[in-house]
Every structure is written in structure tokens, then in C-alpha cells.
Structure 1
Amino acid sequence: MSDFLQVTTTAADRTTAADLARSAVRARLAASAQVSGPVTSFFWHLGEQGEGEEWQVTLKTTAERYPELEAHLRREHPWDNPEVTALPLVAASDDYLAWLRRTVNPEQ
């Protein structure tokens, strides 16, 4: 796994998405977070196809902090089974990665 990750989740409204982003950054589980939307999602849920508007939250963190970030998002999210996915950051400037690592370090 990459040392650095881009994590996403979705929420039903902007307020919930912003609360998730804010609380993760405040807890230093993510160095930054962006809320975008609404986006239109198409999905299967409870055996039925659905679609709806959602707000996407994109967070940057380290692989080391990911388990705590995932637990935080699952605990704070109003949905029983929210999307929490992560993709490796395969390239970024050295200065940005140093800032990201420093920012999510709870000792700083």
C-alpha cells in the first residue's frame, strides 16, 4: 500500500459532508478535505437499483492513519454502511507529502 492515500465517502447532504470533513481534519486524521457536489449516484441497495443526489468528501491522509480515519467516518456517518474507499497517491511533490505527513501526525 502507498504511504499516502486519497479517501472518499459520500453523504446525503452538504451539511453532513462538511461535518464529516471538518471533524476528520480537526482530529488530524486527514490533512485536508474537500466537499463537492451534488453528484448523481446510481447504486444497488437492499436488492433494488436506486439513484439519488449525494455529496462527495475527498480526504488526504497517510496509510498509517487510514484505519483511524475509516473508523471515525463510520462512527460519525449517519448511514449504517457508508462508502469509505481509498486510492493510493502515486505521485505528488515532496513538499506536499512532507506537509501531509506532518499534518496528520498527532504529536505535532
Structure 2
Amino acid sequence: MADYLLVMTAAGDRETASLLASSAVKARLAASAQVQGPVSSFFWHLGEAGEGEEWQVTFKTVAARYDELERHLIATHAWDKPEVTAIPLVAGSDPYLRWLDASTAPSVE
């Protein structure tokens, strides 16, 4: 797995998407998160094609925090089987990646 990741999920409304974004950042599981939407979504659900509006949430994190972030998103999400996917960041500016490392370091209290 790459050292840095973009992690994605979606939610059915802006409030849920914002809760997922803010709670993950406050827990230092992600350095930042962006909420975008609404977007039109087309999918298979319960054996049928469906469509609706969703809000996309993208997190920037380090691979070392992925498992915790995934657990947090699944536990916090309203859906039974939410999307939680990741793609590697293959490059980034050194100052940005240092900030990402520092922002996702577990807090010492």
C-alpha cells in the first residue's frame, strides 16, 4: 500500500457527509476532508438498478491510519454497507506530505 491515500465514501445527505468528514478529521484519522455534492448516482441495490443523489466525501490520510479510518466510517455511517475505498497518492509536494504526516499523527494526551 502507498504511504499516502485518498479515501472516498458517499452519503445520502450533506449533514451525514459533513459528520463523516468532521469526525474523521477531529480524530486525526485524516488530515483533511472535502464534501462535494449533490451528485447523481446510479447503482445496483437489492437486485435492482437505482438512482439518487449523494454527497461525496474525500479524505487525505496516511496508509498507517487507513484501517482506523475505515472502521470509523463504517461505524459512523448510516448505511449498512457504505463505500469505503482508497487510491494511492503517488506523488505530492514535500511540504504537503509532511503536513499530512503531522496532521494524522495520533495525539498524545
Calculate the TM-score normalised by the size of structure 2: 0.97
Q: Deviations over 1:54-85 (max 9, x none)?
A: 00000000100000000000000000000000
User: Take 1:47 and 1:5, find their aligned partners in 2: how far apart are those partners?
Assistant: 32
Counterpart residue number, 1:86 = 86
Cα distance, 1:107 vs. partner? 3.7
Report SS of the residue matched to 2:101: helix
Counterpart residue number, 1:34 = 34
Does the alignment pair 1:49 with 2:29? no
Matches within 5 A, 1:1-108: 1-107=1-107
Calculate the TM-score normalised by the size of structure 1: 0.98
* Structure 1 outlier segments of 4+, above 3 Å: none
Unpaired runs of 5+ residues, structure 2, are none
User: Take 1:62 and 1:41, find their aligned partners in 2: how far apart are those partners?
Assistant: 28
Identity %: 68
User: Take 1:38 and 1:85, find their aligned partners in 2: how far apart are those partners?
Assistant: 19
Report SS of the residue matched to 2:40: strand
User: Take 2:79 and 2:33, find their aligned partners in 1: how far apart are those partners?
Assistant: 20
Unpaired runs of 5+ residues, structure 1, are none
- How many correspondences in the alignment? 108
Aligned-residue Cα RMSD (Å) equals 0.8
Q: Deviations over 1:8-35 (max 9, x none)?
A: 0000000000000000000000000000
User: Take 1:107 and 1:19, find their aligned partners in 2: how far apart are those partners?
Assistant: 20
